[in-house]
């Protein structure tokens, strides 16, 4: 694609005919893909997930503010930047539904293509762990841990997106629908959630996870 963009540009500049390079197909495309994945095998581009069980097991080993930050990531599926911005007024609201749970409203600054009033995502705080989120957010007692700390406690493949990476499977295993989980994560489509955030090393049968 890059070669064709360049070729089109040069042909316009020189007034010469442009003959695009055809995209590889079939066996050639498979060979290129295989070579690419072998090359990046040791370069982790995405974080491994942090599960709720892993987080609870390390609770006494983490600083309380770091644990609270990770809880917001694991149990609300928030992006690292969204958690950090919770300390700024106007980036969140917590509202109570009559005869229902509290709902955490998160403002998504990255949705610049939408008007400001449509940039909010709503996350119902239903489970026992999620109900503690209101207190954490209002207190401001949370701080981003460094990646070195995360890897020491959760493994070399874990980064700041670890909690968010595990959120989809955590909610699906609790019986919530993919459409609901996708909306809580702030995705514009369920395809995005399924393609990038579902753990492919976990099989699911009748709502149960099988590793």
* Statement: residue 200 has pLDDT above 80: no
What percent of the chain has a predicted confidence (pLDDT) above 70?
Answer: 92
d(Cα 201, Cα 166) in Å, to the nearest integer?
Answer: 12
Asked if 168 and 198 count as a contact pair (C-beta separation under 8 A), the reply is yes
The predicted-structure confidence for 103-113, as pLDDT tens digits, reads as follows 999 998 877 77
User: What is the C-alpha to C-alpha distance for residues 165 and 200, in angstroms, rounded to an integer?
Assistant: 12
Q: Which of 118, 131, 122, 89 is nearest to 103 (CA)?
A: 122
- Under 8 Å between Cβ of 75 and 52: yes
pTM of the shown model: 0.76
- Length of the chain measured in residues: 211
Residue 47 near residue 162, CB atoms below 8 Å? yes
Lowest-pLDDT choice from 6-10, 31-35, 122-126: 31-35
For tokens 């070729």, name the residue: 7
| Tens digit of each residue's pLDDT (9 = 90 or more) over 33-80 | 888 777 766 555 678 899 999 999 999 999 999 999 999 999 999 999
Between CA 179 and CA 194 the distance in angstroms is: 10
CB contact at 8 A, 203 and 209: yes
Alpha helices in 25-87 (DSSP H): 26-39, 52-57, 64-76, 80-84
What's 91's DSSP letter?
S
Question: Quick one: average pLDDT of 147-163?
Answer: 93
Q: CA 186, CA 194: separation in Å to the nearest integer?
A: 13
In whole angstroms, give the CA distance from residue 69 to residue 5: 44
Q: Return contacts of 87-92, CB within 8 angstroms, 24+ apart.
A: 87/140, 92/137
Phi, psi of 101 (to 5 degrees): -80, 170
Nearest-angstrom CA–CA distance, 112 and 114: 5
Tokens of 94: 């917590």
Please give the pLDDT value at position 192: 87
The rounded distance, in Å, linking the Cα atoms of 68 and 62 is 9
């Amino acid at each position: 694609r890059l070669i064709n963009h360049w070729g089109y540009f040069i042909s316009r500049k020189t007034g010469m005919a442009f003959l695009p390079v055809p995209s590889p197909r079939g066996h050639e495309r498979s060979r290129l893909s295989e070579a690419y994945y072998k090359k990046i095998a040791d370069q982790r581009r995405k974080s491994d997930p942090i599960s709720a069980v892993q987080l609870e097991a390390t609770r006494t080993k983490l600083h309380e503010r770091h644990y609270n930050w990770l809880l917001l990531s694991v149990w609300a599926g928030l992006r690292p930047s969204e958690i950090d911005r919770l300390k700024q007024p106007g980036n969140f609201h917590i509202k109570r539904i009559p005869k229902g749970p509290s709902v955490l409203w998160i403002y998504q600054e990255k949705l610049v293509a939408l008007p400001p009033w449509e940039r909010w995502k709503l996350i119902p705080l239903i489970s026992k762990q999620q109900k503690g989120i209101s207190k954490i957010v209002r207190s401001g007692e949370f701080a981003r841990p460094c990646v070195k700390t995360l890897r020491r406690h959760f493994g070399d493949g874990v980064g700041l997106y670890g909690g968010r990476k595990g959120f989809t499977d955590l909610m699906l295993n609790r019986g919530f629908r993919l459409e609901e989980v996708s909306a809580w994560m702030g995705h514009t489509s369920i395809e995005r959630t399924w393609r990038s955030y579902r753990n492919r090393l976990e099989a699911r049968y009748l709502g149960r996870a099988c590793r």
